[in-house]
Structure 1
């Protein structure tokens, strides 16, 4: 699946300045950015092309994932057009797979970048292959006979030749995450070091479920070497005045409560639970007011949008009584009359997409070629006109007349499908065939 993929490598060991995170917890955190989250070997893959606009564009989303990922325990991130390519770049510690054509980026990677290729690294080395590009240069038929089918399958997926299939992760109905410390914590305020990471994960879970938390619980377990009178651990319940997802607010609130707690014994691990949640009203990022979804008249909504953006920026398409496809439609102010019906000048059905400018086609034996020879199905549909039309701003004497004389055909291409092509008639320059539209 060609798109925008991020491969996230979780930190597996904790230190004084950072905390480890497991794959399922990292997947829950990533689900706030996209519903397409999958676990693949040692990493979490996230496809964000469909959700980038929701977060203000790919650049802003990428910066947010990288910044917040460091907080929750992401050690490295790589970006690429396919999930398998992103995982390969992650292993090679190359963060950007969009720096050039995908095949040129992947060809430089070592064999160990893709698991299915790494399994045969010894044999491939004896064949003189050191990179993925070397493997792709070998005869494909020979690779298929000598190695298992997974090698070619994984290579094709990485290079975007074959579609990828993933089992998408689902959000749990409840939130409960545990964190084990690398050393014993003797004072309650010091629990915030790990609790803040868990708050980030809870905020991600809430955002993905469009919920806000009104009460959560922090539990801690005492070290095994505790005194018998200390008990197994303790817990702290925190309530909020309003449902929220804000990590900073939740962190300050939890810190205030922990400052009043005295641990009866050193703590070895903590657990965070979202005990009470309710749906939260999200701020709409739509240009159109929310009232249009509640049945408000469209004309009233347009008036408000015009007041916000200006009348010159709110336009609607309008059809003209013109035979020429380029001039059949224009954009007019939204306050004008609604578009009239199509001129009805074409006998053949019009295509779903019209190119901004006709594309000149190659010819063979006086027949058009586009991804192979074209078969003319229906036509000709003759269009003539435009002798009255002059370029705006040009003088009457020197303006170029936009007179067209064309014969339109519906043509079939073996690879491109049904096309809309025309042949110019009686033209002194640029005679021949042109592609002007594509049918759905």
Structure 2
């Protein structure tokens, strides 16, 4: 068996250990918490990740991406031995297990650390010296737990573990060390929950498109203030990027006002979606998905800063009327079904409102000089179901010596011709 012990840095928050355990589940299903560390049995995963060194580097990279401060790591045939070696950075990394453990101080094992003062008076400075003491006398003085820990670390006794499993949904809470009165300050504590979320998503090879951050108000709040508050943030695509989620949450919190001081926060993600992993390519177009993700992250922040009504996205519609072929919605707009291409030529630029044109003696339109017809008429009769959108027009493509190809139509309603010539310029071709 090959056990890998994972320890967080000493200054890491307590919740990072749970997040590290979830991250380890993306490498092997045999993960458990062992005191202050996480241990994972990796023997079945070494071939998949091309060896112990490649697996450890991959784990470090994903921990950094999830914002986790991964500290010491160590390999060993037993879980307790891996934890003991991880606690001692100067421990030998090569050689037989018994020789490596014999060189460690008794503080490397928690069962021996509680008797550190007595062992020091007995002259036991290393685990090897402790192991050479008479077992019966050792058990009588220090209890059977010390002998059991020694035997399990050296592989003489089997170890029993409770394997960790991922919950169906993510819901984490954090009690704040002090009462927070301003919403932007909540981001400093919400980052801990976001790191746990990203590790949870990495274990599921998934992402999210919506999160909910809630906070509980202080019990000494005013009577007219609710007991809690919350905000929901959405992303344009499925992601588990810690930086992106942190910056988006910061934008929302900077525009939020707490009705009362908050003493507890919670982060939840009810819907977890599969995340498609993209391979890195060598061709010029290989970076397009990454560029699209970066653009979406920028638009998300702009939508929060400027307001949803100021960041719009166009959606195509199947309609023969040019001004009804596209509509604008707050970004990100809901996905629309595929739209068939309209028959006939379509101009590159529209002129809104359409510009009335004069006619010559032959009742032909004139614009910056005479026009010559290229094609037409392309008749449109649509909008009868819309009280204000009825259009009965004949569209033509005309060529102007000064302006190029023009999109011109003539109204077929008799009342329109009574007011103007009936000819209008509606667009131009690039």
| TM-score, length of structure 2 as denominator length | 0.55
How many angstroms apart in 2 are the aligned matches of 1:247 and 1:95?
Answer: 33
SS of alignment partner, residue 229 of structure 1:
coil
* Distance 1:100-1:253 versus aligned 2 partners, 3 A rule: same
Deviation at 1:250, TM superposition (A): 1.8
**Gapped regions of structure 1 (runs ≥ 5):** 286-440
- After superposing the two structures, state which structure 1 stretch, 146-155 or 214-223, moved more: 146-155
1:223 aligned to 218, 227, 236, which one? 218
The within-5 A match list for 1:421-440 is: none
How many angstroms apart in 1 are the aligned matches of 2:82 and 2:92?
Answer: 7
Deviation at 1:73, TM superposition (A): 6.5
Match of 1:137 in 2: 132
Match of 1:39 in 2: 33
The within-5 A match list for 1:63-212 is: 63=57, 65=59, 76-81=71-76, 82-91=78-87, 93-94=88-89, 98-118=93-113, 124=119, 127-138=122-133, 149-212=144-207
How many angstroms apart in 1 are the aligned matches of 2:279 and 2:3?
Answer: 25
* Distance 1:267-1:249 versus aligned 2 partners, 3 A rule: same
Deviation at 1:114, TM superposition (A): 1.9
- After superposing the two structures, state which structure 1 stretch, 54-63 or 158-167, moved more: 54-63
Contact 2:19/2:199 (8 A) holds in 1:
no
The within-5 A match list for 1:16-415 is: 19-21=13-15, 24=18, 26-51=20-45, 58-59=52-53, 61-63=55-57, 65=59, 76-81=71-76, 82-91=78-87, 93-94=88-89, 98-118=93-113, 124=119, 127-138=122-133, 149-283=144-278
Deviation at 1:234, TM superposition (A): 0.8
Contact 2:107/2:116 (8 A) holds in 1:
yes
* Distance 1:65-1:229 versus aligned 2 partners, 3 A rule: farther
How many angstroms apart in 2 are the aligned matches of 1:73 and 1:66?
Answer: 9
* Distance 1:139-1:77 versus aligned 2 partners, 3 A rule: same
Deviation at 1:254, TM superposition (A): 1.9
Contact 1:19/1:72 (8 A) holds in 2:
no
How many angstroms apart in 2 are the aligned matches of 1:265 and 1:56?
Answer: 53
Match of 1:398 in 2: none
Deviation at 1:102, TM superposition (A): 3.2
Q: Deviations over 1:38-63 (max 9, x none)?
A: 12233322334544565676445535
- For these two proteins, the number of residue pairs brought into alignment is 278
- After superposing the two structures, state which structure 1 stretch, 46-55 or 35-44, moved more: 46-55
Match of 2:304 in 1: none
Alignment root-mean-square deviation, CA: 3.5
- After superposing the two structures, state which structure 1 stretch, 147-156 or 244-253, moved more: 147-156
Q: Deviations over 1:109-151 (max 9, x none)?
A: 2223223334665665565423201022335677578775543
Q: Which structure: larger Rg?
A: 2
How many angstroms apart in 2 are the aligned matches of 1:250 and 1:55?
Answer: 28
Deviation at 1:245, TM superposition (A): 1.8
Q: Deviations over 1:316-348 (max 9, x none)?
A: xxxxxxxxxxxxxxxxxxxxxxxxxxxxxxxxx
Contact 1:19/1:194 (8 A) holds in 2:
no
Match of 1:367 in 2: none
**Gapped regions of structure 2 (runs ≥ 5):** 281-430
Match of 1:6 in 2: 5
Deviation at 1:219, TM superposition (A): 0.7
